[in-house]
Structure 1
Amino acid sequence: MDNYAAHWAPQPALVALGWLAAAAALTGAVLYADPRGALLLGVAAMVLLALSVHGSVVRPRLAADPRGVRVRTARGAHEFTWPETRTTLRTAKRLGRDSTTLEISAGDHLFIFGRLELGADPREVLDALANLRG
């Protein structure tokens, strides 16, 4: 099932950094004397932990071969054939910078991927998907 021609996932170093940051925030929450500061660090630790778990579990996030695509989410894997899917790029200005996302729609599902989730430029991923689609 993981024998796809191409696949994309968050960079392992980024996921590892998330785990380290979660551990540091949790340690700070436990050791910090000020209750408000400890609460903020505890919330930060939980958010970082959730993101790190997600980045570890949903690998690869997107995979493709000549038959179609497979998207992993927290709720499991979704597989679609090429005729079921539509892929587009969206560019928007965010915080003064252009941000490009890859959108894959299939039936009632819409998946939006950024550079961090794919570990690659969404434009390059779209090109690879177009080559696999044929």
Structure 2
Amino acid sequence: MDEISPTRWQWRVPASLPAAKLAGAVLLIALGLLFADGDAVRLALAVLAAAILAGWAVRDLIAPVRLAVDPAGLTVIHGFAGHRLLPWTTIEAITVDRRPRLGLTSEVLEIDTGESLHLFGRFELGTNPEEVAATLRAARRYP
């Protein structure tokens, strides 16, 4: 969480995540070149997967802030790199969904406006979704 002022907070993608995605894209291209053995389809698939991963990393670099809160409401990421203000009056629920799977528990912050549902995981927020939900609920009570 990055505190901007006593009444404004924001959560962003950790700086190491886009770097890891870009490194993964380079690794995919290297593996594609190594194992293509003259097969253009294998190489094309590796390059395509690397391009998708690099595009995902570029999104993290262009719009690292995924969620912000201030007295007016919540600002969430919208589309590829845009942002959208959700006034407090439109927010119906702020919950954390926990799902156990393969011995691990994943947590997702859910912001429900009735018309749209905004989901944020740990890697988008840079912290535990439960802590973010508690901060959002407190900010909602005292705008």
TM-score in same-fold range (> 0.5): yes
Root mean square deviation, CA, Å: 2.1
Q: State the 1:116 CA deviation.
A: 0.9
Partner of 1:23: 26
Q: Distance in 1 between matches of 2:87 and 2:126?
A: 23
Partner of 1:60: 65
Q: Which residue of 2 aligns with 1:84?
A: 90
For each residue in 1:98-118, what CA deviation from the matched residue of structure 2 results, as whole angstroms up to 9, or x when unmatched? 111100112421111110111
- Taking structure 1 as the reference length, what is the TM-score of the superposition? 0.84
Identity %: 32
TM-score, length basis structure 2: 0.79
* Alignment partner of 1:110 out of 113, 117, 120: 117
Unaligned stretches of 5+ residues in structure 2: none
**Larger CA deviation: 66-75 vs 7-16:** 66-75
Write the distance in 2 (CA, Å) between the matches of 1:82 and 1:14. 30
- Following TM superposition, by how much is the alpha carbon of 1:41 offset from its aligned partner in structure 2, in angstroms? 2.4
- TM-aligned CA deviation for residue 10 of structure 1: 1.1
| Large movers: runs of 4+ above 3 Å | 27-33
Structure with larger Rg: 2
User: What number of residue pairs does the alignment pair up?
Assistant: 132
How far does residue 33 in structure 1 lie from its aligned partner after superposition? 4.1
Q: Indicate the residue corresponding to 1:43 in structure 2.
A: 48
8 Å contact 1:59–1:72 — kept in the other structure? no
Whole-angstrom distance in 2 between the partners of 1:95 and 1:66: 40
Of 71, 80, 97, 2:76 maps to 71
Q: d(CA) in 2 for partners of 1:96 and 1:40?
A: 32
Counterpart CA distance in 1 for 2:137 and 2:36 is 55
Structure 2 distance, partners of 1:52, 1:133, is 32
**Cα deviation, residue 27, structure 1:** 4.3
